[in-house]
Amino acid sequence: MDRILINGGTPLEGVIHIGGAKNAALPLMAASLLTGETLELSNLPHLVDISTMARLLAKLGVEVGMNANAPGGHAGRTFALTAKTVTHTTAPYELVRRMRASVLVLGPLLARSHRARVSLPGGCAIGTRPIDLHLKALAQLGADIKLSEGYVEAAAPGGLKGAHIVFPMVSVGGTENLLMAAVLAKGKTVLANAAREPEVSDLARCLSAMGASIEGIGTDTLRIKGVEGLHGANYAVIPDRIETGTYAAAAAITDGQLELRGARPELIGTVAETLTEAGVEISETPRGLGVARRQGTLKGIDVMTEPFPGFPTDMQAQIMSLAAVAEGASMITESIFENRFMHVPELCRMGANINVHGASAIVRGVPGLAGAQVMATDLRASVSLVLAGLAAKGETVINRVYHLDRGYERLEEKLSACGAKIQRIKG
Ligand code: UD1
């Protein structure tokens, strides 16, 4: 298994290109199942999860045409996805277990083919992560749902019918699945307490470009009028706000200065506010955002993860690395996932002073971290260790790099181009 080796202590200087958002790209790819015409998606990141979704769609009968757009470059890939006929309606365990977002084919398969069989994702490192909200809401649209041998078996022989759905809690994937199901359902659907994440709005905009009728995009109430059919479209994926926040934290933790090209300020509101509070200056540049520390030291911060527009749970681990070397104490509360502090013991092995009490972590800043052998079991936890390694004295070795490859495109290349001493060790 590959490892990442970092010799910390070098301030990062230079330009980093922000890629397309993984979490926007995955539902957009699934939306291709809704039409027999071609959906052309551009600015897709080069990531393992994107290839996994492409493999799943190909299994279902989608023709996946990729152009060789700037291989290894920063322009992003373009996929032409054509689901002339949906030949299979099963998302097998082997793919769903690799990537939970595979469940996003459930809504579109039900809408287009009136049936779907999708493996239950099961638990994952950051919590139990059920899909009960997706299933209950799809049942409200008239789907008959059974669980059998680890699979969800859903059928709506006469097609789905619009309904008024109130989500009991905010779910990004649940909102996306229901949005894709409702666009072809008969009549009107209201999705109340819908997720407002920019990735949800991106999907809603793409569906609108394909002929769907959706009102309330960007709000917590989405009103959908079902249409007979959708057509093809060309759509560019929004830049990745979590990649943006992660590299902003990298500039701050190394006391460097980065320009994040392609980053959009409106996507990182709360993260930018938190970084500003910590003593980081974020400024708009003609092509993105500039990030540097305002003065010498970082300051402790209080953060609670919340659905958008609150502080994203996908930035919680990275902000904790920053807090670990900030002056004073920080309080970081995780309100979305019940088990998302796996990075804490690893950061402590690097010299951080962190105590977890239930859903909150108290981080007492230390003057510096020291390199160590570390390992993490999810994507954002892994990258928080990269950040800590970039700031630490000495050598850090990060094991289980495949998590990073699921969400960060050419991480070590992007960082080393800005002066980081980071390399991948194959094996
Ligand atoms: C998406 C993101 C993930 C991010 C998360 C929260 C993708 C591919 N992934 O995940 O990176 O961390 O949003 O911003 O976009 N829940 C239930 N029942 C359900 C669905 C969710 O109890 O049926 C719970 C979850 O366990 C969690 C909370 O609701 O505690 C939010 O989860 P959700 O917003 O659905 O996350 P995902 O869509 O899986």
- Does residue 309 have a cis peptide bond before it, meaning omega lies within 30 degrees of 0? yes
Strand order of the sheet with strand 353-357?
A: 302-304, 329-333, 360-364, 353-357
Q: How crowded is residue 427: how many other Cβ atoms within 10 Å of its Cβ?
A: 6
Return the pLDDT at 125. 62
Write the pLDDT tens digit of every residue in 357-380: 999 999 999 999 999 999 877 889
Q: Check residue 378 and give its pLDDT.
A: 86
How many Cα atoms within 13 Å fall on the side-chain side of residue 134? 27
Q: 1 pLDDT band (50/70/90 cuts)? A: confident
Pocket test for ligand 1, best of 104, 126, 172 (most atoms within 8 A of CB): 172
Paired tokens of 111: 């809408």
Task: Say whether pLDDT at 128 is over 90.
Answer: no
Report CA(426)–ligand 1 centroid distance (Å): 32
Could you tell me the pLDDT band of residue 119, with boundaries at 50, 70 and 90?
very high
Tell me, what's the pLDDT at 240?
97
Q: Which amino acid is at 96?
A: V
Give the length of the chain. 427
pLDDT at 296: 83
Residue 66 banded pLDDT, cuts 50, 70, 90:
confident
Q: Is 386 left (phi over 0), alpha (psi -120 to 50) or beta?
A: alpha
Residues whose CB is less than 8 angstroms from the CB of residue 158 and which lie 6 or more positions away in sequence, other chains included: 114, 142
Mutate to test the pocket of ligand 1, among 47, 104, 129 (most ligand atoms within 8 A of CB): 129
Ligand 1 centroid to Cα of residue 311, in Å, is 14
- Over residues 391-410, the pLDDT tens digits come to 999 999 999 888 898 899 99
List residues with catalytic annotation: 124
Atom nearest to 169 CA in ligand 1? 29
Q: Is the pLDDT of residue 69 over 80?
A: no
Nearest-CA residue for atom 38 of ligand 1 = 173
What is the residue with the minimal CA distance to atom 9 of ligand 1? Answer: 23
Q: Out of 155-159, 189-193, 403-407, pick the least confident.
A: 403-407
First-residue to last-residue Cα distance in the chain? 5
**Which of 336, 380, 408 has most ligand 1 atoms within 8 Å of CB, for mutation?**
336
Q: What is the mean pLDDT of residues 205-229?
A: 98
Give the distance (Å) from ligand 1 centre to CA of residue 172: 6
Task: Provide the pLDDT for residue 400.
Answer: 83
122 confidence band (pLDDT: 50, 70, 90): low
Q: Residue 71 pLDDT > 90, yes or no?
A: no
pLDDT tens readout for residues 289-298: 999 998 889 9
pLDDT digit string, tens, across residues 251-263 = 999 999 999 999 9
Find the radius of gyration of the CA atoms of the chain: 21
Residue 264, classified by CB atoms within 10 Å of its CB into exposed (0-12), middle (13-18) or buried (19+), is middle
Index of the ligand 1 atom closest to the CA of residue 173: 38
Question: Is residue 259 within 8 Å of residue 289, measured between CB atoms?
Answer: yes
pLDDT, average across residues 30-35: 98
Instruction: Give the pLDDT confidence score for residue 45 in this predicted structure.
Output: 94
Q: What is the pLDDT of residue 115?
A: 97
131 alpha carbon to ligand 1 midpoint, in Å? 9
Q: Are 62 and 20 in contact (CB under 8 A)?
A: no
d(CA 96, CA 397): 29
Mean pLDDT for the stretch of residues 378-385: 93
User: What ligand 1 atom has the least distance to the C-alpha of 314?
Assistant: 12
pLDDT tens across 219-242, in order? 999 999 999 999 999 999 999 999
- Rounded to two decimals, the pTM is 0.96
Structure-block tokens of residue 23: 């979490």
What pLDDT is recorded for position 25?
Answer: 98
User: CA 404, CA 407: separation in Å to the nearest integer?
Assistant: 6
Contact residues of ligand 1, CB 6 A cut-off: 23, 26, 100-101, 127, 129-134, 169, 171-174, 199, 312-314, 336-337
Three-state SS at 297: coil
